[in-house]
Amino acid sequence: MFHATLHSLGSKLVFLVAPALLAQSGPMPPPPLMLFIREEVKPGHGAAHAATEAAWGRALARLKSGDHYLGMNALTGGGEAWFIVGYGSYAEWEARQNEFEKQPAAKAEMERIAQQDGEHLAGSRTLLGAYRKDLSYGPPVEIGKMRYLRMRTFRVKQGQGPAFEAGVKTALAAYEKSRYAASFAFFEVAAGTGSPTFIVLRPLKSLAELDAMAESEKAFQEALGEDGRKGMQKVFADTVNAVENQLLAFNPKLSYPAPFVVASDPAFWTVKAEKAAK
């Protein structure tokens, strides 16, 4: 995965926070910036791709890189691997991209692994998103205890961004009123695809949480009321070109997790990663 942002040799795709918080565990807010990297894995190359990704993680750990990320397998859609990397600022992102520029041996190793990884991919795409706290909902989560991520992408019509955001805020009021049992983070895509585009992340401890959605949705619809429901339907019909939903499963073998992530559940993040390295 690292090679996607590392075409210039530097950084790579986790619900990370600013460096000062990396040693802590527990619930944390989303980062100001998030890289989303999607890799299209060739049919039959899943195991080989995972082995190459594990090599990324081992190399970065040995080099004591600070550019941590979480990798995920797509449970829906095509055969894809997704990665998320958080940054506290554009300056931090730049610094991570240039992390190995003054280390020729490390740079050569990264390039070698990137070439190997590319043999297993049909394509890749990198998006940069900016966190929108005003459109997000729910308390911070402890990402190291999460096992799945529901990703929803809204592609908004040109000129309709403000109206779309107004519709989201109407929904947020109903979520609050109904005490909707979830947390989700909104990211507005700043680069990498057409805009306006918004990516919404909902971390899940278990897919069983989705079984309870019907009850929460019922309470949400009641909080909206009939006029609110009609208004919401109109707003999204008028403003949204398309919506894409994706379910992803966190995979330690594809990840280079930060210390605070590992501390949340060492058995999941460390033990399995070690087994993968054998």
- Condensed to tens digits (0 to 9), the pLDDT of residues 217-256 reads 999 999 999 998 898 899 999 999 999 999 999 999 999 9
CATH classification at residue 269: 3.30.70.100
Q: What does pTM read for this prediction?
A: 0.86
Same-domain status, 111 and 94: yes
- Residues 7-56 have pLDDT tens digits of 333 333 333 334 444 446 689 999 999 999 999 999 999 999 988 888 88
Rg for the chain, CA atoms, rounded: 19
- Return mean pLDDT, the chain: 86
d(CA 29, CA 94): 22
136, pLDDT greater than 60: yes
In a domain, 25, yes or no: yes
26: left (phi over 0), alpha (psi -120 to 50) or beta: left
In a domain, 118, yes or no: yes
Same-domain status, 98 and 64: yes
Same-domain status, 150 and 123: no
| Of 230 and 6, more confident | 230
In a domain, 138, yes or no: no
Would you call 269 helix, strand, or coil by DSSP? helix
Same-domain status, 37 and 87: yes
Same-domain status, 8 and 125: yes
d(CA 27, CA 144): 9
Helices in the chain by DSSP H: which ranges? 46-62, 90-97, 104-118, 161-178, 213-239, 259-264, 266, 272-277
Residue 73 domain boundaries: 2-130+250-277
d(CA 60, CA 71): 14
